[in-house]
Amino acid sequence: MSAIVLLLLGLGGMAAGYLFYSRFIANRIFKLDPDFRTPAHEFEDGVDFVPTNRYVLWGHHFTSVAGAAPIVGPAIAVIWGWLPAFIWVVLGTIFFAGVHDSGALWASVRNRAKSVGALTGEVVGHRARTIFMIVIFLVLLMVNAVFGVVIAKLLINNPGAVVPVWGAIAVALVIGQLIYRRVIGLGIVSIAGVIALYSLIYIGPQVPVALPDQVMGLSASASWILLLFAYAAIASLLPVWMLLQPRDYINGLQLFVGLILLYGAVLIGNPMVVAPMINVDVPPGTPSLLPLLFVTIACGAISGFHGLVASGTSSKQLDKETDARFVGYFGAIGEGSLALAAIIAATAGFATLADWQAVYTAFGKGSLTAFVDGGAAILAGGLGMEVGVAATLLTVMAALFAGTTMDTGLRLQRYIFQEWGDIYQQKWLTRPLPATLLSVISCLLLAFGAGGADGSGGLLIWPLFGTTNQLLAGLTLLVITIMLVRRGRPAIYTLGPLAFLLIMTLMALLLQLKSFYDKQDWFLLGLDIVVLVAALLVTLECAAALKKAFAEPAEQT
C-alpha cells in the first residue's frame, strides 16, 4: 500500500479533529473565557509567570512534551503491524491527547497555575495528592535520567550532532533577547532562527566533536551526562523567556521544516508500506498487543507527562484562557503528526518485507534507528537528499527534542520540590536553588547509583515508564472530570478516556509483573508492585471522588 494513503488519512483526521472537535470541547465543555485574567498576568514576575505570544508558547509546550517519545513509541509498536499503531495515534490524538492537554491547561489556569499534583489535593483529596506526588516524582525521575543517557549516546554515536545541539542554546539566547528586549517582529526572528539552526546542522558534520574516552576516570558517556545536567540545572534557574521559551520555539519551527521535508518526500517518492497491516508472525517474546500498545505509544496518543508540562510551565505563561485550545490541543496535533511520520518511516522506509523483518527481530528493536534509517531512505528517494545528510538531520531533530524535554523536565522537578516545601512547610525547600540541586542530585543518584560508572541507571526503570506515565494521565483526567462535574457540565468526554486508560494500565502492570517474575528481576518487580498499588488506590479514589462529585449540587459558573 502507498504511504501517501496513510499520510492523507492521518493528517486529514487530525485536522478535522482540531477544526471541529477541539472547538466543541473549548466552547461547550471547558467554556474558555477570553476575559478571564490568567495567572501569567495575575502573578507576573518575569521569571516563571510571563504572558506569552501563543505561537511562542505553542513552540515551548509542544517541544517540551515531545522529546523522543512520539518517535520511539510508534517505531517500536509497528512490530504488531502498522494498522493498530496508526489507529491509536490518530484517534488517541483527537479524542484523548487533545482533550487531556488542553484540559490540564484549563484546570491549572483556573487554579492559580498550580501543578496538577498540587491541584489534586484541593479537587480530589489529600490521599490522592500523595499518590499523585509519588507517581509524578517517578515519571520525572525516569524522564530526566533516561533522556540524559539518550542524548549522551546520540552525541557519542553522532559527533556531527554536537555543534548543532549545543549551538542551538546560543541561538536561543539571542532569539530570546531579540524577542523580549529589542521588540523585533516575530516573523523576522523566526526566519533568522531557523536559518541559524539549519546552518549549524550543515556545519556540524564538518567539525565533529568527540570527548576523550576517559576524562578524570569518567567515560565519555558519564562526562556528557554530567555536562547535560549541569546545563539543565542552570537553564532551570534562568527566566523562561531567556532560554527555555526561545529554544523550544525554534525547535518547534524546526519540526515543521523536518515534517514538511519528510511528508514532501512521501508525496513525491510515493514509497510503499512493506510492513504487514497486522503482524501475525511477531518475534518470540513479543508481549500482547492488548494492552501493551496503549502504554508503548504514549506521546503521540496520550501521555501523563503532557499534563505536567501543561500545568507546570505552560499554564504560567498563558496570555489568554482561550489560547489553551491552540497551545494544548494543537500541541497534541503536533505530537500526533510526528508519531505519524515515525510510523511511515518505520514501515515504508525499507525496500522489502524481509529488510523490515531483519530489523524487527524482537520487541523493542527498530525504535529510533528505524525512524532515522527509514526516514533517511524516504528523504533520499523523494527529494534526492544524500542519505548521510538526511540521517544527520533526523538525528539532530531527535536530540534537540530530547534536550528540550530534559530542560523542562528538570524545571518541573524543581517545581515539585518547591510545592513539597509549601505543603510540608519547609521554607528552605521553596527556594529555587535548593530545589534545583535536589532535583539534579536525585537524577544523578539514579543514573550513577543504579547504573554504575557509565550513568545509565535511568534505563533500568524505563520499562515501567509507559504504565506509570499513563497512570499519571488517568489522574490528570480525574481532576478535570471532577471539575467538570462540579460545574454541571458533561463529563463523558474525559470520563471515557479516564476509564479506558485505567483499565489498560492495570492490565499492563499485571502482565509486566509476571514478566519481571519470570525473569527474576526483583528490582523491577518491586517497583512494579509499588506502581500497581498506586494504580489500584487511584481507581478507588476515582470511584469515591466521582460518586461524591455527582452527589453534590453543581456550582454556578
**Residues 462-481: tens digit of each pLDDT:** 778 888 888 889 889 988 99
Return the closest-CA partner of residue 347 out of 371, 379, 382. 371
From start to end of 229-381, where are the E strands?
A: none
Residue 352's SS3 state is: coil
Q: How far is CA 472 from CA 136, 328, 467, 515, in A?
A: 7, 17, 9, 22
User: Which amino acid appears at position 520 of this protein?
Assistant: Q
What integer pLDDT is reported at residue 556 of this predicted model?
59
pLDDT tier at 200, thresholds 50, 70, 90 = confident
From start to end of 262-359, where are the E strands?
A: none
Determine the average pLDDT of the residues in 141-152.
Answer: 82
What integer pLDDT is reported at residue 264 of this predicted model?
94
Please report the DSSP string for 174-197 in residue order.
HHHHHHHTS---HHHHHHHHHHHH
pLDDT tier at 37, thresholds 50, 70, 90 = very high
Question: Could you report the per-residue pLDDT of 478-526, keeping only the tens digit for each?
Answer: 889 999 999 999 999 999 999 999 899 889 989 988 888 988 888 888 8
pLDDT tier at 557, thresholds 50, 70, 90 = low
CB 337 within 8 A of CB 259: yes
Q: In a 10 Å sphere around its CB, with 0-12 CB exposed, 13-18 middle and 19+ buried, how is residue 526 labelled?
A: exposed
Three-class secondary structure assignment of 459-486 = HHHHHHHHHHHHHHHHHHHHHHHHHHHH
DSSP state of 30: S
Determine the average pLDDT of the residues in 217-223.
Answer: 87
pLDDT tier at 275, thresholds 50, 70, 90 = very high
The rounded distance, in Å, linking the Cα atoms of 431 and 439 is 12
% of the chain exceeding 90 in pLDDT: 37
555 or 110, which is more confident: 110
**pLDDT at residue 298 greater than cutoff 80:** yes
Question: Could you report the per-residue pLDDT of 103-130, keeping only the tens digit for each?
Answer: 999 999 999 998 888 888 888 877 777 7
**pLDDT at residue 99 greater than cutoff 80:** yes
Least confident stretch, 33-47, 133-147, 163-177: 133-147
User: How far does Cα 514 stand from its chain's mean position?
Assistant: 28
- Residue identified by cell 570527548 is 211
Residue 37's SS3 state is: coil
The rounded distance, in Å, linking the Cα atoms of 485 and 389 is 53
Q: Is the dihedral of CA 301, 331, 381, 157 positive or negative?
A: negative
- Average pLDDT, rounded, for the chain: 87
pLDDT tier at 185, thresholds 50, 70, 90 = confident
pLDDT tier at 183, thresholds 50, 70, 90 = low
CB 89 within 8 A of CB 339: yes
What integer pLDDT is reported at residue 15 of this predicted model?
96
Most confident of 129-143, 417-431, 451-465: 417-431
Determine the average pLDDT of the residues in 205-210.
Answer: 86
**pLDDT at residue 310 greater than cutoff 70:** yes
CA-based R_g, the chain, Å: 22
Q: In a 10 Å sphere around its CB, with 0-12 CB exposed, 13-18 middle and 19+ buried, how is residue 174 labelled?
A: middle
% of the chain exceeding 70 in pLDDT: 99
What are the structural domains of the chain? Answer: 3-551 (1.20.1740)
CB 539 within 8 A of CB 546: no
**pLDDT at residue 64 greater than cutoff 80:** no
CB 477 within 8 A of CB 147: no
Pairing of strands 214-215, 218-219: antiparallel
**pLDDT at residue 415 greater than cutoff 90:** no
What integer pLDDT is reported at residue 461 of this predicted model?
77
**pLDDT at residue 182 greater than cutoff 70:** no
Least confident stretch, 10-14, 15-19, 422-426: 422-426
The rounded distance, in Å, linking the Cα atoms of 229 and 245 is 19
- End-to-end CA distance of the chain, in Å? 51
pLDDT tier at 65, thresholds 50, 70, 90 = confident
**For 124-161, where are the alpha helices, taking DSSP H only?**
126-157
What integer pLDDT is reported at residue 456 of this predicted model?
77
Most confident of 133-137, 356-360, 398-402, 465-469: 356-360
**pLDDT at residue 296 greater than cutoff 80:** yes
Question: Could you report the per-residue pLDDT of 238-272, keeping only the tens digit for each?
Answer: 887 888 778 878 877 877 888 899 999 999 999 99
182 or 391, which is more confident: 391
Question: Could you report the per-residue pLDDT of 350-386, keeping only the tens digit for each?
Answer: 999 999 999 999 988 877 788 888 999 999 999 988 8
Tell me the three cell numbers of residue 118.
Answer: 498540587
Return the closest-CA partner of residue 324 out of 476, 480, 102, 112. 102
What integer pLDDT is reported at residue 179 of this predicted model?
77
Tell me the three cell numbers of residue 249.
Answer: 520555539
